[in-house]
Structure 1
Amino acid sequence: MYDMMERKFANPEEVFADIKDGSVIASSGFNRAMAPEYLLEKLYDHYRETGHPKHLFFEFETTTGMPGIGTDKVAKQIYESGDTEFIDGMLIPFTGFSPWSAKLIQENIVEGYMWAIGVAANWFREVAAGRPGLLTKVGLGIFMDPRDPDFQGGLMNERARSRRRANVSLVHIDGEEYLLYRAPQPDVAFIRGTTSDEQGNISVEEEGAVTSVLSIAQAAKVRHRGTVIAQVKRITKCCSRPAKSIEVPGPLVDYVIKAPREVQWQTGSYEYHPAISGEDYIPDLNEILMESAKNMSPIEYVIARRAAIELTDLMTKYGRTLVINLGIGIPVYTSIVLNQEGLQNYVIGTVEPGAWGGVSLAGNDFGVAISPSALIRMPDQFANYEGSIIDAAVLGFMQVDPAGNVNASYLPGSVFTGPGGFPVIARGAPNLIFAGRFTAGKTDEYIRDGRIFVNRTDSEKIKFVRKIALKVFSASEAMKQGQNVTYITERGVFRLTSDGLLLTEVAPGIDIDRDILGMMEYEVRISDDLREMDPAIFDISSRMNLRSRVISEVTENVPINGE
């Protein structure tokens, strides 16, 4: 027995020599959180030295690493060397943190398949249970739908369309449409934890997320007993960790590899912060919020303030706290506004990998939160989104068409970033707020005396276009489900109706014909009850007194600012 346990702890070269050519490798990781980047980089080093294993197919729950690290580092080396035998293809929900992977896909060097993060996370869980794939309504009417003329179910290039290794099929049950997602069962699983004991029990006490590591390990084990390799920071005595802290039981783990600390960071900016892993709690988060606010322009601040008003109205409507999700970019700034207004205890933010509460971090730290109140597994988190358990979501957008369909992932001439968690959240949120600048590119806009002024520039790029480049949100599906959908910009606010977009509010100082209608590729209906956006939004030196709107309406049992 001792020898068997001892064999679990090996160096990478010994372990990787057993991985066969053509293997399917699943990997955990939400950007750098829970990313076994050391395993991935060492596997590629082993290939360069020995020529094996090769012709691999990778299945990522999100992305393993960040720019220059993990997946991206390996993809860059493959691209620059021209040696493409290491990898044949990848199923990857998000390449925003791996631009070199995006290049491999976009230039048709490897097969590229893209599903939403929540689809991938729950697919691992379904495979682990021995089921044929994931059955869901997520993806209907967007690029992941097999009826989409361009991407046919997330097939992102010609190699993928030829091989069709990851398939999406249309299924009818009791007259309703669903999608069935299928892909090869993994032969090998790369996962990460903080600590392994001598039996290979893996705990995650210093991680900023749990993600889908258990499901990924199980998916490799079902039926054909594949290989599970865990990257950890430390190894300790047998059974020294509390049983409830174990995320992956030792019998599911074949090998444990201790990684150097420099490749075991919680996020892009933090090697280790106890308030990210929930081991400590910072009651006053203003300093962190103000640090995030440094990157926010006045125009972005205005948009976030209007989004905060939308959430405030929902609080008064429901008379209780809200559970929400905030997307990357401007939506994250909404949390800053809510904290400034003293409403942070009325809005519980959630992040895709599993954090509830606290302050969600942005940029290379996206996916974790400072001082979360709870950390759950990623498949469970996405159940909150897909099942409409959350109350609202604030998401960004790149393009909007006349019907209200949204592209948030790709513009012609740029690289595919993948859908991320967007399709699941956008489909499930009963109240959906798209928040972003009215145009892209360089725009000369400024705020003065509570009004917004727009000067024309040649580099403005229209975002309200006749045809979007990639559909990641379906307006028709939203109407079927009865979702309340709002589009907030600095110039005006639109609502989704059965007849498409309706302009309901205009910012003070904005000329509708010149600054809104003249910068859209299509005509839009204007509400008979067109209103001016609340002038308080544009008085950016002052608070908007949103707390006074809520305090008399929301349940008295909910504390404000800890009172």
Structure 2
Amino acid sequence: MASLTRTRRGRPEFLTAREAVALIDDGDTVAIGGSGGGLLEPDALLKALGNRFRTEGSPGGLTLVHTTGIGDREGGGMDHLAHRGLARRIIAGNWGMAPATSAMAAAGEFEAYNFPQGVMSQLFRDIAAGRPGVLTHVGIGTFCDPRLEGGRLNDRTTEELVQVVSLRGREWLFYPSLDIDVCFIRGTTADEDGNITCEQEAARLEMLAIAQATRNCGGVVIAQVKYAAQRGSLDPRDVVVPGLCVDVVVVNPAQRQVVTHEYNPAFAGAAKAALSSLPPFPLDQRKVVARRALREIVDGDIVNLGVGIADGVAAVAAEEGWVDHFTLTIEQGLVGGVPARGVIFGVATNPVAILEQPAQFDFYDGGGLDICFLGFAEIDLDGNVNVSKFGGRIVGTGGFVNISQNASTVVFCGTFTAGGLQAVPGGGRLDLRAEGRHRKFVDKVEQVTFSAAEARRRGQRVLYVTERAVFELGPDGLVLIEVAPGVDPREDVLDLLGDRVSVSGSLSVMDSAIFEDRPLGAGWRRRDTAVRVTP
């Protein structure tokens, strides 16, 4: 177990990143805070740990635990630790931001688990409180359910961590707590007593929960910050992690807010940016999907947007001037504003609130979302969806399971095929010039990240929106309800799916405005009343 040369009642030690990671011993369990695109990523510590192992061959056999995908898809984040022998086991909420680590997991280089992002964030709170673990409905019927895969990602991973529990006449999943020896967290400023603020950060994530959990396990809390401040100089209202939880501080003056920005005050809530300054969203097949999906929002809705093609919904709403008619949220704890797209998904321009990530998932899990928009890699004809493991790749679920399982309406967004698809909108219609090489609608998904059977049981409304067709989840599977203008329902849709897809008796044509290079107009939004479901 990691050791430290000071007493618990002393002030934290200010060390270099190299000195800090020297405190980690072989076999330790290390919890790592942060999210994709450099958001609250303790990058200097991750680099130093990877460098130490590369030069010394130690520490090895680590158990690494992190809530979200950490990295930039280009060698950063968890990929600093992608060395054979460094990790014995990794338990993660998402793997997609660190492709080298993901590839090692797929190859069975270490034991690998994937649990829902919300469960992971809440687990740190339960560890801090001395509770046995997270008891939740989240994950039932998905690959996290031990009756399917139990969150295990390769053949090397055999220990069953998740259990099915019956309580008060209902089934639950139990995700157990674990001991933490060391954690890496990040903030903006630390004073001499180790109090940590996040004034330049674009999220809070679960920095406090990780620090409290590690402290109460008797472990070592290592905090990376950009600035050091005099004792007593910080506003107590800005302190996110109190110094009583912090053992080591590492100051990294080169710390960036996210990988794409040194510091954008509109991400941190310190300024309001003009939405006209956001990059334009050109009319293409992705924008068609986002426009059609946006049609499902009702005035006053509380909305979640997923990463990928679904995050274009926010861009369309912003350019149409509709963002004030509903509240956009993202699982990293952001409420309001316009979520960013791409690698820095997880931050928002002009948020109205920046919450702790576990609290955001409490709200989601309890049914607080009216509607969510999520991507897909595979959809089968029963209506199940896979985003987590496909084609030999491990991406992971992130917040997908929490969000899709608990929102009243779920809208899956993606193109009908992938890999070379040329579907060109214009003049009020869609021109299908070339089909993609990869089918996304399949007979059976490789991994169940969203269970259609569970959705039916919960009474959710589920739509599947593509550039050429819209389906809904019916009693027996997919039902075709709309096609794009210019698309032949039989030749361009049904013949590619087989006989198990039903056709609605009121099959309609998607609004031609979606396929025109001009604003949609205010009259295009829905204003009817949404129906809630009970998680």
TM-score using structure 1 length:
0.89
Match of 1:478 in 2: 455
Higher helix share: 1
Residues 6 and 168 from structure 1, CA distance in 2 versus in 1: closer, same or farther, beyond 3 angstroms?
closer
Q: 2:271 aligns with which of 268, 272, 280?
A: 280
- 2:293 paired residue number: 307
Query: CA, structure 1 residues 456+278, in 2 after alignment: closer, same or farther (shift >3 Å)?
Result: closer
Partner of 1:245: 238
User: Residue 31 of structure 2: SS of its match in structure 1?
Assistant: strand
- 1:231 is matched by which residue type in structure 2? Q
Aligned residue among 502, 511, 515 for 1:534: 511
Q: Give the drift of 1:374.
A: 0.9
Give the Å deviation of 1:483. 1.0
| Identical-pair percentage | 38
1:58 and 2:64 are equivalent in the alignment: yes
Q: Is the 8 A contact 1:167 1:183 kept in 2?
A: no
Report matched runs for 1:146-165 at 5 Å: 146-148=146-148, 152-161=149-158, 164=159
Deviation at residue 46 of structure 1 after TM alignment: 2.6
The number of residues matched between the two structures is 522
Cα displacement (A) at 1:501: 1.3
Q: 1:517 to 1:258 in 2, by over 3 A?
A: same
Contact 1:446/1:452 (8 A) holds in 2:
yes
How far 1:28 moved relative to its partner? Answer: 0.2
In the aligned structure 1, how far is the partner of 2:373 from the partner of 2:453? 19
Aligned ranges 1:209-288 → 2 under 5 Å: 209-222=203-216, 224-261=217-254, 264-282=255-273, 284-288=274-278
Provide closer, same or farther for how the CA distance between residues 202 and 189 of structure 1 changes in structure 2, counting only shifts above 3 A.
same
Structure 1 counterpart of 2:421, from 426, 432, 443: 443
- SS of 1:310's equivalent in the other structure is coil
Alignment of 1:489-508 (within 5 A): 489-508=466-485
Summarize deviations over 1:355-379 as a string: whole Å, max 9, x none: 1122211122111011111100100
Post-superposition offset of 1:11: 2.7
Q: 1:72 aligns with which of 69, 75, 79?
A: 79
Partner Cα distance (2:8, 2:284) in 1: 63
CA 1:192–1:466 in 2, change beyond 3 Å: closer, same or farther? same
Name which of structure 1's ranges 368-377 and 330-339 shifts more when overlaid on structure 2. Answer: 330-339
Deviations 1:126-180 (A, max 9, x none): 11111111111111111111011xxx2111112212xx2x711111112211100
* Equivalent residue runs for 1:448-459 within 5 Å: 448-457=426-435, 459=436
Partner of 1:124, secondary structure, is helix
* Cα distance per residue 1:96-142 (max 9 Å; x no partner): 11000101101111111111111110111111111111111111111
Pair 1:102–1:499, CA change in 2 (3 A): same
Aligned residue identity for 1:189:
C
Of 371, 385, 393, which residue of structure 2 is paired with 1:392? 371
Match of 2:3 in 1: none
Q: Secondary structure at the residue paired with 2:65?
A: strand
In the other structure, the counterpart of 1:41 is 47
After the TM superposition, which residues 74-223 of structure 1 pair with which residues of structure 2 at under 5 Å, given as runs?
A: 74-75=81-82, 78=83, 84-148=84-148, 152-161=149-158, 164=159, 167-222=161-216
The offset of 1:93, in angstroms, is 1.7
Distance 1:426 1:530 in 2: 26
Matched position secondary structure for 2:14: coil
Distance across 1 between alignment mates of 2:223 and 2:369: 33
Gaps (5+ residues) in structure 2? Answer: 1-5, 530-535
2:438 aligns with one of 458, 461, 466: 461
Q: 2:371 corresponds to which letter in structure 1?
A: A
- Match in the other structure for 1:557: none
In 1, the alpha carbon distance for the partners of 2:223 and 2:230 equals: 17
Query: 2-side partners of 1:86 and 1:100: how far apart?
Result: 13
User: Which has the larger displacement, 39-48 or 370-379?
Assistant: 39-48
5+ residue gaps, structure 1, are 79-83, 316-320, 555-563
Q: 1:269 corresponds to which letter in structure 2?
A: T
- What is the letter of the counterpart of residue 240 of structure 1? S
- In structure 2, how many angstroms separate the alpha carbons of the residues matched to 1:20 and 1:455? 58
TM-score by length of 2: 0.93
1:334 to 310, 313, 326: 313
1:172–1:451 CA distance, 2 compared to 1 (3 A): same
Q: Verify the 8 A CA contact 2:328 2:336 in the aligned structure 1.
A: yes
Kindly indicate whether the alpha-carbon contact (under 8 Å) linking 1:232 and 1:259 is maintained by their aligned counterparts in 2.
yes
Question: After the TM superposition, which of the residue ranges 41-50 and 54-63 deviates more from structure 2?
Answer: 41-50
In the TM superposition, residue 8 of structure 1 has moved relative to its aligned partner by 1.7
Aligned equivalents of 2:283 and 2:80: distance in 1? 32
Corresponding position: 1:9 with 2:6: no
Contact 2:30 2:180 in 1 (8 A): yes
CA deviation string 1:182-236 (max 9, x = no partner): 25221111111111111111111110110001111111122x4111111111111
1:418 CA drift (Å)? 0.8
Determine which of 302, 317, 323 is the counterpart of 1:323: 302
Q: Which residue of 2 aligns with 1:545?
A: 521
Decide which of 23, 28, 32 is 1:27's aligned counterpart.
32
Between the aligned partners of 1:529 and 1:253, the Cα distance in structure 2 is: 62
1:504 deviates by 1.2
8 Å Cα contact 1:23-1:55 kept in structure 2:
yes
Q: Distance in 2 between matches of 1:381 and 1:349?
A: 12
Instruction: Find out whether 1:351 has 2:330 as its counterpart.
Output: yes
SS at match of 2:482: strand
